[in-house]
Structure 1
Amino acid sequence: MFLDQAIVEFDRGLKTVFASARSVRATPGATLSEAPLDASERSHAAGLMRINHCGEVCAQALYQGQSLTSRDPLIRESLREAAHEETEHLAWTEQRLAELGSTKSALNPLLYLGALSFGVLAGVLGDEWNLGFLAETERQVEAHLDGHLRELPAQDQRSRAIVAQMRLDEIRHAEAAVNLGAAELPAPVKGAMRLAAKVMTTAAYRI
């Protein structure tokens, strides 16, 4: 049983990092016309979308690690549902990167392993802290997406539509975690999470 589960989880990780994700929902902004972008605007938009794609890879790893160590079946199911929507985010951001003529981050495998470790640790600490970690992660992601909506070229409506829908989904995930009993994380932990996110986003923008 353990070996079977380990194989399933390993396969899930490989697909997250190396395979192209699929989305049930239509890609937000898919019907909008492609706006003209100069080289600088296109490069900046691609860098931001690469950050978002990398963030979704990390989200998959976090949810996977958290669900593996969660003790509550309801919480495990909630994590799986959130992970499903994050898979759609993966598909949307990967598609947009291709449209912008760019590629995914080369750091994805390394960051996936790091996020998976954090997820396992969060689950081991107990479900209240597990959910607290999830809620705070989603709040910080929401803040990042707010920043991207300010930074993306105004005419790049296709990228902006994707980011806007991702933001709405992340808000719902945070609210769901709070409703399930998320604990409020200590300020130093939140600060450490913001620092780690800063390192990740700075690197993923370029690599």
Structure 2
Amino acid sequence: MSTTLPRSGPVSFSRRSGPLDALLAEADRALRVLSGSASAGRPYPATAEELPQAMSAQEKRHAAGLMRVNHVGEVCAQALYRGQASVCREPAPRALLLNAAAEEVDHLVWCNHRLTELGSRPSLLNPLWYAGSFALGVMASVAGVPRNLGFMAETEKQVEAHLEEHLRTLPVQDERSRQIVQKMKDDEAQHRASAEEAGGVPLPAPVKTAMRAMSKVMTSTAYWI
């Protein structure tokens, strides 16, 4: 006697994503950021014509130093917000952080492109800045959503002040860099307002002071290295 077994269709397997997948995804993102292979989602804001010999060699070096500092700031912001989002379990704050991180990628790409136009390069210490900022973001998120968003708001507030200073100190002739910095400043103001509206609380004075001190070390180093 023979038995006929029922025919079945192809068997499909589904794989649940776990912590390792998330870790690998973050590592891949970090590599793209640090290698300069990330791409912007918005057009390059520098539309002013680059006039030949508009800047002296010294002015060009100064502009490149400032844009290198801005590039490092975007490396840090990208890592910071990804770190904050990585352990945030509340959907709305997490989406806010990831959206801000996506716009920081645009800033990162713009600054990198401008550095190339100026005949310069990003900071050699970018891997260090990225790792430290990611870890700082994780620690901020562990403190709870109000503090997490408060950290984002204070970060953006300090970045706004820093970009305003660059707008004052960039060479007058460097309109292309100025257009990039102004667009970045507008975005950072929106990020700050969004974090505050979502429930971010002011940070203690010692924390703000420590953030300013760390920023000073970073900007002073990145201008040259």
The two structures share one fold, judged by TM-score above 0.5: yes
Q: Secondary structure at the match of 1:28?
A: coil
* Equivalent residue letter for 1:28: P
* Shift of residue 19, structure 1, vs aligned partner: 3.0
Residue of structure 1 equivalent to 2:167? 149
Q: Is 1:5 the equivalent of 2:22?
A: yes
State the Cα distance separating 1:11 from its structure 2 match: 0.8
Check conservation: 1:56, 1:89, Cα contact below 8 A: yes
How many angstroms does 1:103 deviate by? Answer: 0.2
CA contact (8 A) 2:36 2:112 kept: no
Let me know the Cα RMSD of the aligned residues. Answer: 0.8
1:11 partner amino acid: D
How far 1:21 moved relative to its partner? Answer: 2.5
Q: In structure 1, how many angstroms separate the alpha carbons of the residues matched to 2:31 and 2:222? A: 19
**Unaligned stretches of 5+ residues in structure 1:** none
1:181 is aligned, of 190, 199, 218, to: 199
CA distance in structure 2 between the aligned counterparts of 1:71 and 1:128, rounded to whole angstroms: 13
The letter of the residue matching 2:49 is S
Structure ID, larger Rg: 2
1:48-107 C-alpha deviation (Å, 9 max, x unpaired): 000000000000100111001112111111111111110000110000000000000001
Counterpart secondary structure, 1:197: helix
Q: Measure the CA separation in 2 of the matches of 1:24 and 1:60.
A: 15
Report whether the alignment pairs 1:91 with 2:105.
no
Q: What's the TM-score, normalizing by structure 1?
A: 0.98
Deviating 4+ runs (over 6 angstroms) = none
Quote the residue 2:11 is aligned against: none
Query: 1:78 aligned to 2:128?
Result: no
Contact 2:85/2:94, CA 8 A, preserved across alignment: yes
**Alignment partners' CA distance in 1, 2:74 and 2:202:** 23
In the other structure, the counterpart of 1:34 is 50
Amino acid at match of 1:26: P
**What code does the residue aligned with 2:67 have?**
M
Q: Which residue of 2 aligns with 1:24?
A: 41
State how far apart, in whole Å, the 2-side matches of 1:110 and 1:200 are.
Answer: 11
Matches of 1:53 and 1:193 in 2, distance apart?
18
1:86 corresponds to which letter in structure 2?
A: E
Secondary structure in structure 1 of the residue aligned to 2:223: helix
Provide the aligned length of Structure 1 versus Structure 2. 206
Identical-residue share of aligned pairs (%): 53
Report the AA paired with residue 183 of structure 2.
Q
Greater share of helix: 1
Quick check: 2:36–2:109 contact (8 Å CA) kept in 1?
Answer: no
Task: Choose from 135, 159, 184 the match for 2:153.
Answer: 135
Report SS of the residue matched to 2:221. Answer: helix
Give the structure-2-normalised TM-score.
Answer: 0.90
Of the three residues 135, 144, 151, the one matched with 1:117 is 135
Task: Give the Å deviation of 1:200.
Answer: 0.1
Q: Do the aligned residues in 2 keep the contact of 1:71 with 1:126 (CA within 8 Å)?
A: no
Are the equivalent residues in 1 in contact too, given 2:81–2:137 (CA < 8 A)? yes
Q: Is the 8 A contact 1:23 1:91 kept in 2?
A: yes
Contiguous gaps of at least 5 residues in structure 2: 1-17
Q: Matched residues in 1 for 2:84 and 2:34: separation? A: 18
